[in-house]
């Protein structure tokens, strides 16, 4: 038993060291591509989610920076629309998956999996996480907004926050298997991808 405890502590220490080495990444889900090291939405045009109803690639030569993140645009017109009202088009929760934010766990999102709710862009890790989010959308939006404002927004490291909430769960936390079981109970079928 003592050996296992020592191994567990060593594993935790290595994980924490790895997370701390990423501490400068901040509280936004961004990627690096070419000369853009803080690229939001994997380079998709944020305005296209609203005008075209889908993720559409932006051009590397048409871009703007908002709150430290670089956004790319498909045209000068969509860039102009964004610059005029960036908070209208920027993804909520720093581009993190909205479902996991409802549990205070910042998790990266797939920029192609989204939903516009009351004129705001929300991203999800997968189609399945969007489905689970929609099962109790009002509650999930409320909790995600609360945790974003109280715990995640402005943190030095989203990875450290994720590690914290993997160890210390928020009240009402539901695992993916819990959500799948709830979906099956409600709808009499297993959730799709």
* DSSP structure string for 60-94: EEEEEEETTEEEEESSHHHHHHHHHSHHHHSBGGG
Contact indicator for 93, 122 with CB cutoff of 8 Å: yes
Query: pTM for the complete prediction?
Result: 0.85
Tell me what the mean pLDDT of segment 159-185 comes to.
95
Cβ within 8 Å of residue 117, ≥6 positions away: 137, 141
Among 29, 11, 17, 43, CA closest to 155? 29
* pLDDT given at position 19: 39
Tell me what the mean pLDDT of segment 61-68 comes to.
96
Look up residue 54 and give its two tokens: 């889908």
> Strand pairing of 31-33 and 120-124?
unpaired
> Strand pairing of 69-73 and 110-117?
unpaired
Percent over 70 (pLDDT), the chain:
86
N- to C-terminal Cα distance for the chain? 40
pLDDT band at 192 (very low <50, low <70, confident <90, very high): confident
Distance of CA 29 to the CA centre of its chain: 6
Least confident residue range of 6-15, 92-101, 153-162? 6-15
Q: Secondary structure of the chain: what % helix, strand, coil (to 5)?
A: 50, 20, 30
**Cα(54)–Cα(27) distance, integer angstroms:** 25
Tell me what the mean pLDDT of segment 76-88 comes to.
98
**Cα(173)–Cα(19) distance, integer angstroms:** 23
Give the CA angle between residues 8, 19, 159 to the nearest 5°.
115
Tens of pLDDT along 100-113? 999 999 999 999 99
**Cα(157)–Cα(20) distance, integer angstroms:** 8
């Amino acid at each position: 038993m003592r050996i296992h405890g020592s191994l567990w502590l060593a594993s935790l220490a290595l994980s924490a060291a790895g997370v701390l080495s990423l501490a400068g990444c901040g509280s936004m889900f961004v990627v690096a591509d070419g000369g853009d090291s803080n690229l939001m939405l994997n380079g998709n045009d944020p305005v296209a989610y609203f005008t075209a109803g889908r993720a559409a690639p932006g051009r590397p030569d048409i871009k703007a920076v908002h709150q430290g993140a670089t956004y790319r645009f498909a045209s000068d017109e969509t860039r102009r629309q964004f610059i005029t009202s960036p908070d209208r088009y920027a993804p909520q929760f720093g581009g993190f998956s909205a479902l996991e934010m409802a549990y205070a766990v910042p998790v990266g999102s797939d920029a192609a999996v989204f939903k516009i709710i009351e004129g705001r862009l929300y991203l999800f890790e997968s189609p399945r996480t969007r489905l689970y989010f929609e099962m109790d959308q009002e509650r999930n939006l409320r909790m995600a907004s609360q945790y974003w404002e109280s715990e995640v927004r402005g943190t030095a490291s989203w990875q450290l926050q994720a590690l914290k909430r993997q160890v210390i769960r928020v009240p009402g936390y539901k695992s993916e298997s819990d959500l799948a079981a709830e979906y099956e109970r409600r709808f009499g079928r297993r959730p799709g991808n």
